[in-house]
């Protein structure tokens, strides 16, 4: 069943959608009169029909949130890579269940944060479509930072920095299983093309972050992000 995040609020159990949404419903997806689909608002789902170019509410759908199985907040801090790779990371990270994505202009990020910020609406559209595809009822938050110090950490945060020179995560899986319950938020740090600088590694160590690697192979940044997020969600 088709699912849509729509910001417009119901009035008298109806929404008069924009021309863009009408086009998507009728021309792209070819939804017919009285055919059911789902509208998502404020982490709630509503079963709806399209009648006379209006979205008509039938009933609210009651269910548990899709990513409640993870329980902890999963946060990706991604050193900004090239645009095509970034689109993949946003899409797959959303599908895996990340709650917040920080895009960090690191020393080795070969982009300007201003140019990345200009694509904010495009990135949010990628996240929205990925959330619809993944059967989520929430949208990950996206933030843009120039400095590690712009992130506000709390006492019950676990910082996991993936770094090719660190010990493989497979050597310490039992330790991670034992300590995960002590933390409410898990930060996953992934470097851009070129990896982390020595200065950035020093910042992580000052914050008592855990440095680890995925294995012997050197992965592309988009592959590393997908594998790392999947591993952490699985281990939890």
Convert the pLDDT of each residue in 131-140 to its tens digit.
999 999 999 9
Cα–Cα separations (whole angstroms), residue 207 to 26, 163, 180, 203, 220: 52, 15, 18, 6, 26
Top-confidence range, 158-162, 172-176, 178-182: 158-162
Same CATH fold assignment for domains 3-61 and 67-235: no
pLDDT, tens digit, 9 for 90 and up, residues 199-220: 999 999 999 999 999 888 889 9
Q: What is the pLDDT of residue 144?
A: 95
pLDDT, tens digit, 9 for 90 and up, residues 138-153: 999 999 999 999 999 9
Least confident of 3-17, 40-54, 59-73: 59-73
Sheet containing strand 185-190, edge to edge, reads 141-145, 100-104, 73-79, 185-190, 157-162, 210-212
Class for the domain spanning 3-61:
mainly beta
pTM: 0.86
DSSP state of 148: G
What percent of the chain is modeled with pLDDT above 70?
94
CATH (residue range 67-235): 3.40.1280.10
Domain locations in the chain as residue ranges: 3-61, 67-235
Residue 10 has pLDDT above 60, yes or no: yes
């Amino acid at each position: 069943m088709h699912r849509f995040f729509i910001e417009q609020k119901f009035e008298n159990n109806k929404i008069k959608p924009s021309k863009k949404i009408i086009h998507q419903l009728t021309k792209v997806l070819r939804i017919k009169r009285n055919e059911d689909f789902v509208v998502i608002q404020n982490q709630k789902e509503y079963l709806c029909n399209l009648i006379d170019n209006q979205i008509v509410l039938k009933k609210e759908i009651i269910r548990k949130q899709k990513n409640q199985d993870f329980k902890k907040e999963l946060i990706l801090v991604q050193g900004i890579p090239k645009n095509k790779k970034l689109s993949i990371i946003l899409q797959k990270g959303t599908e895996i269940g990340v709650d917040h994505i920080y895009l960090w202009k690191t020393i080795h990020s070969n982009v300007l944060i201003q140019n990345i910020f200009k694509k904010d609406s495009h990135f949010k559209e990628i996240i929205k479509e990925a959330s619809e595809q993944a059967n989520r009822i929430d949208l990950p938050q996206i933030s843009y930072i120039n400095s590690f110090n712009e992130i506000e950490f709390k006492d019950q945060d676990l910082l996991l920095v993936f770094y090719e020179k660190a010990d493989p995560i497979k050597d310490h899986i039992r330790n991670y299983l034992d300590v995960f319950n002590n933390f409410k938020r898990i930060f996953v740090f992934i470097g851009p093309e070129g990896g982390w600088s020595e200065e950035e590694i020093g910042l992580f160590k000052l914050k008592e972050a855990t440095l680890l690697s995925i294995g012997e192979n050197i992965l592309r940044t988009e592959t590393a992000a997908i594998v790392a997020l999947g591993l952490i969600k699985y281990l939890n």
